[in-house]
Chains A and B, each alone.
Chain A
Amino acid sequence: MITFDRVRVTYPGATRPTLSDVSFDLPEGDLCLVVGSTGSGKSTLLGAVNGLVPHFTGGTLAGRVLVDARDTAHHRPRDLADVVGYVGQDPLRGFVTDTVEDEIAYGMEQLGIDPVAMRKRVEETLDLMGIADLRRRPLVDLSGGQQQRVAIAAVLAAQPRVLVLDEPTSALDPTAAQDVLSAIATLVHEVGLTVLLAEHRLERVMQAADSMLWLPGDGSVVHGSPRAVLAGATITPPLAALARAAGWDEVPLSVREARRRALAEDLRPTPPPRVPVAAGPSALTASDVEVRFGEIVAVSGVSLELAERSVTALLGRNGAGKSSLLWALQGALSCGGDIAIGGRDPRRLGAAQARRLVALVPQTATDLLYLPTVAAECDQADAESDAEPGTTAGLLRTLGVDVPGDRDPRDLSEGQRLALVLAIQLAARPPVLLLDEPTRGLDYNAKAELRHIVDRLAGTGVAVLISTHDVEFAAAVSRRTLLMADGEIIADGDTLGLLTSSPAYAPQMAKVFAPIPVLTPDDVARGLR
């Protein structure tokens, strides 16, 4: 269905090709996962399938890409619209119209499909994706998961044979992501579509995949069965790390498979000791924090205390009030209740003073960057924090990012940019650090890197509060976990106890070895020794 024949893609100004000598053949009806760290060329590979690369992005493509026997050299993306459906990362940015029904019809209008047939197809597509009840809703009012399903429906309506999805779940919470991924699995099994899917968090899709394309980052591509590729790849989803720890030659693709094998081999890791939540001197005390937006109560009466040298994870579904709580604790959002950090209330201080008490790295961290170079950003941060010149640049290096100072922050990788914003915020030496969804868009290596950074920060005395959807990350990084729902904290306890007891929030290792309380492949490796 999709054939790459010695494809090489070079962007203007690049020293080496992004893809070099890539050849593979994807049969019809396959669900193929595209994996690789950020910057390895995943988006380029996906864009090449419908001709966006190079027709839209620029650059040169040597070799041949054939989709349903059409050569992308002679077909522009618009000419392939009836064969390939392309869905990007942020659905909201790709929407052309403003309501669900219009958006679904848009592609068919462009293809000039007869209005009577179009009406019927819109209905079918609404049912197929289970969004019939949303048909008249404005797109901006939908949740992220709903938006992404509408985006998929919108390309499906043109009845393509191939569906290309570039990290469709990176902006979604686990439940919404599961919604989208199961919708995709249905399309593969029920409709027989060929699907090419890029995804950072393999643990949720790899059991459904027929094949895998791994981009090691040097321009080459490894194509094979998920087991074969995972055994050799440097990307390590939890189950692959488990296989390594247990010395298995084959990577189990699902929790069920791993659990059966562990039971068969009678694998019983000794659980890590349960450490009570540290009761050190408290860095932040908040009581009865309440945030309202008009009628809506986003945070209702939350009281919490963060100890020095502690890392706390804040879990909860989208809209539970996590972000509002973090912004309120920083003092940037007006709220009721008391907040005290070192006896002072950040809300009563100016912005420059408040960030010396508590720093927040927001979800869209790049909003904080506005200067043309990394060095300029660092200097500006030094000036803002009255720090010695070079402080921020030094912090950036200790965070493990060493980039030339004349680089544009927007050209950095997702992980490097996060580190830069982190360094800027840390230049003020705040005793409390709040991170809002820091793992968004990070690959496994960058996440591990972030974990080490957070560990080191906590070691220097900082109290860290991280709101996240990523249960595996929360399990690895935190000792204490808060669970939020509907604006309230509904559970507060040590991560090990809390996550292993909750089926919805259990990380994969806990599911594999239940009832033995282990959280991460590291726990298992230590427990097996």
Chain B
Amino acid sequence: MSGTTNPLLLALIATAVVATVLLRRSDAPWARSVKAYLVLSVFVIGMRVFFQMLLGAGTGETVLFTLPQIPLPDWAAGIQLGGAVTAEGLVNTLYDALRLAVMLVCVGAANALANPRQALRSVPAALYEASVAVVIALSVAPQLIESAQRVRKARRLRGDQARGLRALGAIVMPVLADAIERSMSLAAGMESRGFARTRGLPVRGTLPLMLAGSLVATCGVFLLLSTDHRLLSVLLLLGGVAAVLLGLRRAEATLRVTRHRPHPWGSRDTLIALSGVFAALIVFSAGGDWGIGWLMASDVLHPSTDPLVWPELTPLMLVVVALVLAPLPLTRVRPPQATTSLRNDTRVRSLRPRPEREPELVAR
């Protein structure tokens, strides 16, 4: 079992991640999602604890309090509603839920910091069409919301107060028609600007190669996580990845699309990426049979809950937290851009507030 359930380490990592996000996020729409992920994490912890109290057959001896027990019919044997709530059971659940919550926070942080379009620019050329589709899908969502708002406002003008299905039709119809018109003109624009013009015929066998490669890699990951055949699983994983890379290369050769100002990968980017890799490596390999397991004992990463002990905090954990915070000194906040008149368009956009732009994250 990898990872950690040490609540001190988890709490420190979560705090470090949130701090990094808050200090380095931009004002872009996707950057606001971190709050939603935090709420979700708290919700996850709350739900786990609630169900543990309600259903968890009390393991351990330290009874905190006892809920009234509800007798269930015979067919529900094995399920116990209510009963004694023990500190051991509760803490065990809390640790487990905390781990899930921190994972959610990390996903939210990645979401908040990365511009999805910017990220898609780094997609290999072979997946170019797919990435274009994703980019367009990303831009459609806010457009849909905008036209839905516009139509909703316009409906007030008609005084139609219908609710339910009728009202839905009244909003969905114009919004959909608008969306279809939009995508048609976008498609016309892309076509007349030469989209997919240099796409040649794919080399035969590329697709089967990539499919087989990803299948083998998936098997490797599965084995790695679920069994002890480490050597076999690593070999499978490497072989699969190699096959996929080869397939991508072959597919790339048929597409001659160039990139304008590709983001140069500098030493700073390497450092930031490495800090993340090292943090993961330390936690992942610690407590295992090999690697640097001797640095951190298993019972430090997974504090015992039965009997209850106070979790330990070792210096190595602080190193992990420091690595999580490493991007802060490595990047800087871009000064706010000068914006001219904010509401100078005929569109209905002018009717609603527009936030000022705020600093963006850039590598120096």
Contact = CB atoms under 8 A, between A and B. Distances in A.
B193 A90 contact: no
Interface stretch (B64-72, B166-174, B313-321): B166-174
Interface in B165-195: 169-171, 173-174, 177, 181-182, 185-195
Contacts of A85: 192
A367 B158 CA distance: 10
B309 interface: no
A424 interface: yes
B166 to A, nearest CB: 10
Contacts of B161: 350-352
A424 B192 contact: no
A50 interface: yes
B346 A93 contact: no
Contact of A362 (B154, B171, B257, B355): B154
A384 B260 contact: no
B2 interface: no
B352 A144 contact: no
Interface stretch (B79-87, B267-275, B336-344): B336-344
A351 to B, nearest CB: 4
Interface in A124-173: 136-137, 140-144, 154-155, 158, 171-173
Contacts of A279: none
Given A158-B193, A323-B350, A354-B159, A122 B345 contact: no
A300 to B, nearest CB: 13
Nearest to A324: B351
B341 A319 contact: yes
Given A105-B260, A362-B154, A96 B189 contact: yes
Contact of A355 (B150, B158, B343, B353): B158
A82 B193 CA distance: 8
Contact of B185 (A88, A137, A171): A88
A432 B158 CA distance: 15
B342 A368 contact: no
A119 B159 contact: no
A97 B155 CA distance: 31
Which 9 A-B pairs have CB atoms at the shortest separation, nearest pair first? A81-B194, A105-B260, A94-B189, A352-B159, A367-B154, A293-B353, A112-B256, A294-B353, A110-B194
A360 B158 CA distance: 9
Nearest to B337: A136
A60 interface: no
B156 interface: yes
B139 interface: yes
B158 A78 contact: no
Interface stretch (A212-220, A327-335, A516-524): A327-335
Interface in A274-300: 293-296, 298
B334 to A, nearest CB: 10
A296 B343 CA distance: 9
A366 B174 contact: yes
A107 B193 contact: yes
18 contacts: A90-B185, A93-B181, A94-B188, A96-B132, A112-B198, A115-B258, A118-B258, A143-B344, A154-B193, A323-B348, A330-B157, A355-B159, A361-B157, A364-B348, A367-B155, A369-B174, A370-B171, A370-B173
Interface string A86-110: 1010100111111001100111111
A360 B157 contact: yes
A333 B136 CA distance: 32
Nearest to A57: B188
Interface of B: 117, 132, 135-136, 139, 150-151, 153-161, 169-171, 173-174, 177, 181-182, 185-198, 256-262, 337, 339, 341-355, 357
A341 to B, nearest CB: 15
B155 A79 contact: no
Interface string A428-448: 100000000100000000000
Interface residues of A, number: 91
A320 to B, nearest CB: 9
Contact of B348 (A84, A363, A368): A363
Contacts of B159: 350-355, 384-385, 428
A451 interface: no
A53 B296 CA distance: 69
A114 interface: yes
A111 B350 contact: no
A115 B259 contact: yes
Nearest to A359: B157
B154 A319 contact: no
A79 B260 contact: no
Q: Which of B139, B192, B262, B346 has the most CB of A within 10 A?
A: B192
Given A52-B192, A77-B192, A333-B351, A112 B258 contact: yes
B194 A364 contact: no
B194 A111 contact: yes
B192 A78 contact: yes
A361 B177 CA distance: 19
B351 to A, nearest CB: 6
A486 to B, nearest CB: 10
Q: Which of A108, A136, A361, A437 has the most CB of B within 10 A?
A: A108
A98 B140 CA distance: 12
A93 B186 contact: yes
A60 B198 CA distance: 26
Contacts of B156: 332, 351
A367 B346 contact: no
A98 B28 CA distance: 12
Contacts of A136: 337
A67 B355 CA distance: 46
A318 B259 CA distance: 36
A38 to B, nearest CB: 16
A81 B197 CA distance: 9
B193 A88 contact: no
A56 interface: yes
B353 A77 contact: no
Given A144-B346, A332-B157, A352-B161, A109 B353 contact: no
